[in-house]
Structure 1
Amino acid sequence: MTSARIPVLPRGVRLHFDKVRGQNVLLAPERSLFLDQTGHAILSEVDGRRTIADIAGHLAVKYNAPKDAIANDINEFVEDLANKRVLEFTDA
């Protein structure tokens, strides 16, 4: 996976805040995935226009962390979501 790919939430998939549980959730047809703070931070940046590298750069500044480490974490996270078919990619 390259950092030039653009993550996109496919049709029918969205971020949601579950008020009952007080937790962020990724809702998809017939499934929901509870998100920790890291997962929510990453998916909050997914807008269908920015690459993984762009998202990593923004989060590195926001959290004062090394961009390479954040990019690796993002790549692993989005690859897992893509394998679960709740995230897709387009090329930059």
Structure 2
Amino acid sequence: MLIIAGSISVDASDRDAYLRGCSAIVERARSAPGCLDFALSADLLDPARINIYERWESEADLERFRGSGSAEDQEGEIVSASVARYVVSSVGAP
């Protein structure tokens, strides 16, 4: 299993519009084979921050989806990004 997590920052005045523009990407991801979870959300404290969380069954599933990622015009709106890929070796109840 893979987890992609972190955040991006956009201009605070554009964040809500940016997130609305991502709804199609979230829909595509959630219906993609191997996608266990996919979420983009407004941060509660930082008006420019968008939190990212993705969970995938395998690297192959993630790579198949990646070609349909964010639109180029949206990528230009990103001011900064801090996103990492985590490989999960085991999962258990908390």
Same fold (TM over 0.5): no
Looking at secondary structure, tell me which structure has more helix per residue: 1
Could you tell me the TM-score, scaled by structure 1's length?
0.34
Larger Rg computed on CA atoms: 2
Looking at secondary structure, tell me which structure has more strand per residue: 2
Structure with the bigger RCO (C-alpha within 8 Å, sep 6+) is 2
